Structure 1
Amino acid sequence: MNSNGVVFIFSYLFYESSGLTVSVDGSKLTTNIDTFEDASIILNCSYTEEDGDEIVSDHAIYLRILDDNLAGFSKPGGIDPDYVTPAGEYLRNRSKLYNPTINSSSALIVIENVICEDEKPAFYFRIFYRNSGNFHTKDSAEVSLSLQKSALQPLDLPLISTTETLENDDIFLSCTADVGKSPGYVKWWRFRADKSISLISQSETLSDEAGTCIFITTFNTTYQVTREDIGAFFRCTSHNNITQDQGPEENPHYRDTEKINVLYPAMVTNINLVPDMSIYPVSTPTLRLTCLADGNPLPNNNDFKWTFQNTDSNTTEETVSLSNSLTLRNLKESHSGTYFCSVTNSLNLTHSSNITIIVNGTIPEPPLQLHCHSSPCGALQTCVEGGRGYVCETNGMAAVGVVFIILTLLCVSASIGLVYYMRKLRNGLRVAHHAEKYNGQQTTSPTAEEDVNVDVTYAQIKKP
């Protein structure tokens, strides 16, 4: 069959060992009735006469169902074909009959605008003929119809019991649809706000029934919601063998619910501290505690409450703030204790969490300089960046170099001093030598070698 509803025809022949041979085109004809006016079928009864066979009279060929004649056909040259009342009346206004001709031994019926009732009976042809003076009948094989129809969009009925519910409650989903022919099934899908799609459940496939073209199924299911379903909606799709189990986004036969809102109680998720320390020194300027919470509906700022209990276990809690944040200033040891944050929302359920603060010790030292670019280290040190500051490490090679330079300078200084001392000593010895000469204490004259290059003026020394 093409898109316009023309039927595929299959050949089926009926044979007997002798006598008239009758055949009918098609053992099972299939057509789509999505649009009834375009659906049609053709039944063609062909016969072959052997020697001695004679079709006896007008309307000797009949289209039949069960034991009823529907239409009669005549041999070539006979009266026009017609419908047999009352059984054939349902075909009168939507079919055409054609007698055999001299050139074609075929009786033909074209059934237009096929309806569901056409599927229920099996059609066959019966021919009355005479051979050797005896009357005979011969029947063709039966031909049954197989009708197909696509599943249709689910009906616009209430699909969901509620669009606002509490977390972990069940919602009721109901889908009613014509699932086509051959009948199919419906599916429920969940579409979440994060674009994820999941199959929830599927109905059973209905059984087909000849002569019935409308198969309505209602499929009910329940679904337990969670907070992840906020903003989700549910889709019912109808399927049969024509749609070939298309996915939820490809199947054109669907209907969606409205989006749902899932309510759940408020809950403290975290408590932030700024600054965050294990022990706070006395006189810490400020400490800010912020209570973070979740819930639907979200809690307002005035839905929070801070209470405080001193480290003395005998004290009772006291309310210190009615907002989501609490600021402590100029910390004292009396600030030590447990701070409780409680939160609620319109569901009137309260959840709380706590944190313990310890205040002790001295005022903290100024923070370390965080970078080495200001050259904070000495000449013999190397600055190394750390996670929260820097470290000055001694440069071993630089220290060795400095010691070497100092030792070298000391050696040079000592050498110069020694040379100066030796020259001074030598000159002193020469002066003493000449003095002894002039005082008569020297018996030998100085040699010329001794006087060479001595440019000294001596004073006379008189003896007393």
Structure 2
Amino acid sequence: MLTLFASVLLIKGVFSLIVFMPTEINVTLKSNSSIVLNCTYTLGVNETVNALTIKKKTSSGSYIELAKFTDRNTVYALGGEYLKGRSNIYGFDTGSSSAVLVINDVRCEDDGQYQCFVDYISKDTALMNLQNTTVYINAIAEVPTFLFASNNITVEHDVVNLTCSANVGNPQGLLEIWRQNKTSEIYELLGHTSVVYRDIENCTSIANLTVTYNFTQQDNGAMFRCSSRNKYTNSQIPAVHIGPVNVLYAPFNTRIEPSRTNYYVGENADLKCNSDGNPSPKYTWMFNFTEIENSSKYSISGDTSKLYFTLHITDNGNYQCVSSNEIGGHVFNSSSNVTLEVKEKNVDPSSSDIKSTCSRTSCLFIQSCTLRNGSSICSLNIWSVIAFVFIALTIISGAACVSLILSRKPRTKNNQTNGIGDVHISYTREKFEDFGGYADPKDVKRPENGPIKLDNPYADPVDFQTQYAVVQKNWETPVKSSKDANSSDTSNLLNNTDSPNTGNPSSSETANTKNSTNDEKTPGSTETSETIPKPPNVDQTSTSYINLLLE
């Protein structure tokens, strides 16, 4: 490496001589190359130069004189005799302050450190000053030699020495070994070395480098490179590449695709076996530990990695793929298993195949069509049965409700008010009912002289010589009635109602008259008229309330 060293003596303006010389010179080793050592100085007031000497540093660390310059002559020193045939020297004088040594036909031995040494006098005092410079002879690094296994083939876990050697040139040459993964463009440095042998005369720097490397599966396809270079290698670095490396390894990571395990009868099984290995593995297929071969049932691809067959119910079981390769006379195996479950196909009613097949089959509305082994079958659909029973029960219940409603005939009520306290009520129904249930008619104690006629359902039961009021009474529908008759009957009813309370004899006469009138009607007559007597103490408000109840 170029080293610069300078020493200038400046003593606060008393001693002012300065020496100039390049601190570093780089020369390429060529037939017409030269080294120019120019030593220049500047003088202060009352300063004179006695002598100027150019020296070179030896391997022992001392300096030898190559040339000596004075204002009167310039000569080669004893140590510079080897330069006389291929160098020139130029001295200084009163008109020049430089001394020059030019070395032609540069050789490797010309590199090293040179020194310009100046003796001068300042005000009658002898002094000195110097300046160092380093010359580098640049030798080009050569392409290295890279040693590796034969044909770039190795086996996994093999430990291999990667050996590289080259003339790395000058200065400061070195070797480097790199690795590049097959999936990356970046090199990884495995090791480097500096110069182990240097031939100065021939400008040769020999370097050797050995890296011990353990190969794995990941190194399969990788590239290795050895490069040589030095400090001034600016162009493309000399290098040699090895690879891609072929790393042999046993099969591993064996797997069967797809991972599906459930099938239906009639489907096709397409099984593929994959495995990592180098060389590429071969595959063997087995069913329930019995080897499968190409046949009318099974079809195996040319590289034996794929198996095709149509599934039957008897194809339930274990399928195994065994991958194997051979390395160095040894066979290595790896396997993977999958268990297939084959079922009868359940028909999907939405599929077009089933629809087209079932369209030709007539099934009852409580049945559904299914496809089994290619044939359509009508089977009972439990949900259809449940729906049918539910609908039937709903219809029966509805019919029963309608029948009960229709069995009750409508009734019409006609209320007329002829004045305060005069109420006439007539019924068009054949039966008078629902005046409020208090007792059953059979509970009524009938008198000995005949049946009881209920003229006023609102009257006190005592009026009828009974213990309970008879609630339900059969009434015949009146056909004709007149306003006068109604008015008269209403008046009679009111009078009749008052008789039990007042003891008026006319009440019984009125009642007898009424009964005789009723008895005089002919049996064949369809005209009947019975009126409801007014309850006792009935006023206009009570009459309106009765009308409201009857409505």
What TM-score do you get using the length of structure 2 for normalisation?
Answer: 0.51
Which aligned pairs between 1:271-286 and structure 2 lie closer than 5 A? 271-272=256-257, 276-277=261-262
**How far did 1:35 drift?**
5.5
Which aligned pairs between 1:3-402 and structure 2 lie closer than 5 A? 12-13=7-8, 24-26=19-21, 29-34=23-28, 37=32, 40-44=35-39, 46=41, 62-65=53-56, 69-75=65-71, 78=72, 81-83=74-76, 87-90=80-83, 92-94=85-87, 96-111=88-103, 115-120=107-112, 122-125=114-117, 140-141=129-130, 143-147=132-136, 149=138, 152-155=141-144, 157-162=145-150, 163-206=152-195, 213-242=203-232, 252-267=237-252, 269-272=254-257, 276-277=261-262, 287-299=269-281, 303-309=282-288, 317-321=289-293, 323=300, 324=304, 325=307, 327=309, 329-332=311-314, 335=315, 337-347=317-327, 349-355=331-337, 357=339, 363-367=344-348, 369=350
Indicate the percent of aligned positions where both proteins have the same amino acid: 20
State the secondary structure of the residue aligned to 2:292.
strand
In 2, the alpha carbon distance for the partners of 1:8 and 1:187 equals 25
Change (3 A) 1:116 1:368: farther
1:164-187 Cα deviation digits (max 9, x unpaired): 222222343222234454414322
* Alpha-carbon RMSD: 5.4
1:254-273 Cα deviation digits (max 9, x unpaired): 33224222222344611236
> Does the aligned pair in 1 maintain the 2:180–2:223 contact within 8 Å?
yes
Q: Which has the larger radius of gyration?
A: 2
In 2, the alpha carbon distance for the partners of 1:267 and 1:288 equals 22
**How far did 1:219 drift?**
0.8
**How far did 1:355 drift?**
3.0
In 2, the alpha carbon distance for the partners of 1:420 and 1:349 equals 104
> Does the aligned pair in 1 maintain the 2:55–2:64 contact within 8 Å?
yes
Unpaired segments ≥5 residues, structure 2: 57-61, 295-299, 356-390, 414-426, 432-474, 481-517, 532-551
Change (3 A) 1:328 1:31: same
> Does the aligned pair in 2 maintain the 1:120–1:210 contact within 8 Å?
no
> Does the aligned pair in 2 maintain the 1:39–1:114 contact within 8 Å?
yes
**How far did 1:221 drift?**
1.3
Structure 2 counterpart of 1:263, which letter?
A: L
Change (3 A) 1:140 1:92: farther
In 2, the alpha carbon distance for the partners of 1:25 and 1:216 equals 36
In 2, the alpha carbon distance for the partners of 1:193 and 1:52 equals 72
In 2, the alpha carbon distance for the partners of 1:74 and 1:298 equals 84
1:63-104 Cα deviation digits (max 9, x unpaired): 4456865334452xx46x45457833425534x432323233
Unpaired segments ≥5 residues, structure 1: 1-6, 245-249, 310-316, 375-401, 447-464
> Does the aligned pair in 2 maintain the 1:267–1:293 contact within 8 Å?
yes
1:225-254 Cα deviation digits (max 9, x unpaired): 22333322112233555569xxxxx96343
Larger RCO: 1 or 2 (CA < 8 Å, sep 6+):
1
State the secondary structure of the residue aligned to 1:433.
coil
State the secondary structure of the residue aligned to 2:130.
coil
> Does the aligned pair in 2 maintain the 1:29–1:143 contact within 8 Å?
yes
Change (3 A) 1:441 1:356: closer
In 2, the alpha carbon distance for the partners of 1:292 and 1:32 equals 61
**How far did 1:194 drift?**
0.7
Identify, as 1 or 2, the structure richer in helix.
2
State the secondary structure of the residue aligned to 2:23.
strand
Change (3 A) 1:113 1:171: same
In 1, the alpha carbon distance for the partners of 2:153 and 2:199 equals 44
Structure 2 counterpart of 1:262, which letter?
A: V
**How far did 1:217 drift?**
0.8
What TM-score do you get using the length of structure 1 for normalisation?
Answer: 0.59
How many residue pairs were aligned? 372
In 1, the alpha carbon distance for the partners of 2:168 and 2:107 equals 18
User: Could you tell which deviates more after superposition, 257-266 or 113-122?
Assistant: 113-122
1:328-352 Cα deviation digits (max 9, x unpaired): 64222xx555444323235351414
